[in-house]
Amino acid sequence: MTRVFFALALAVVIAVSAPTPPWEGPILSDFPIRLVADLITGASIGLVSTLAVEAFTFSGQILSVQAGFSYASTIDPLSEADSGIMPSLFSLAANLLLFHSPLYGELIKALVSGLLRSPEKALLHAPAAARILIGFSAHCLEIGIKLALPIIALLFLADLCIGLFGRLQPQIQFLSMSFSLKLLGAMAAVAALAPALCWLYQQLAVSAVTELHLLSR
C-alpha cells in the first residue's frame, strides 16, 4: 500500500510540475493512444531500474545455492514473499545503492521526458525500446554472474580441499564440518567484496542511465 501511495504522489507531482507538451490536443480524441504510449514508457523505465536490482538479486541467489544458504529462508520486505537470505541481502543492498547512484535522478527525468514525447513517437519507438531492454537484460545477467564468480570459485576450492583431506584422513568426518566452513567462508568473502559492490553498482547505474537516454529519445 505504501508503494501505491508513493507512485500516486510521484505521478501527481510530475504531472503538475511538467511543462505543457507542444503536441497537446483534445484529450478524449487520442486517449487510448496516450494510454498505451504511457504504459510502454513506464514499463520500459521500470524494467531498467528493476533489472539493475535483479542483477544483484540473481548473484545472491547463485551464492545462496552454492554456499548452502538455500536451507534457510526469510521474508523479503519488498515483495513480502518467502526468499533466501543472500538474495534478500543483495536486493536490499542494491536498493540502497540506487539512491546513491545517478540512476535515481535519471529515472525521474525519464518519466518527465516521457510526458513531453508525443504518443505516436512513443509507439513507433516501441520495437527499438524492446531491443534496448533485451540488450540491457543480458548485460545485467553478465554483471550478476561476474559478481558471484569469485565467491563460487572460493567455495569450489573449499569443497576440493575438504574432499582431499577426507581422502587423506578418512577417520575424521570432514563432511560434517564442510557445511559450517562453507557458510563461514561465503560470509567472509561477501564481507571482503562489500566495498566492490558499490563500485560495481555505480558502473551498472551508468549503463542504465545510458539506456534511459536511448529510451527517452
More confident residue, 122 or 97: 97
pLDDT of 22: 56
Q: Tens digits of per-residue pLDDT, 1-23?
A: 677 787 788 777 777 766 666 55
Cβ atoms of residues 52 and 140 within 8 Å: yes
Cell 564468480 belongs to which residue? Answer: 149
If you write DSSP's letter for every residue of 109-175 in order, what string do you get? HHHHHHHHS-HHHHHHTHHHHHHHHHHHHHHHHHHHHHHHHHHHHHHHHHHHHHHHHHHH-TTS-HH
Query: What length does the chain have?
Result: 217
Q: How confident is the model at residue 128 (pLDDT cuts 50, 70, 90)?
A: confident
Model-level pTM?
0.76
With a cut of 60, say whether residue 30 has pLDDT above it: yes
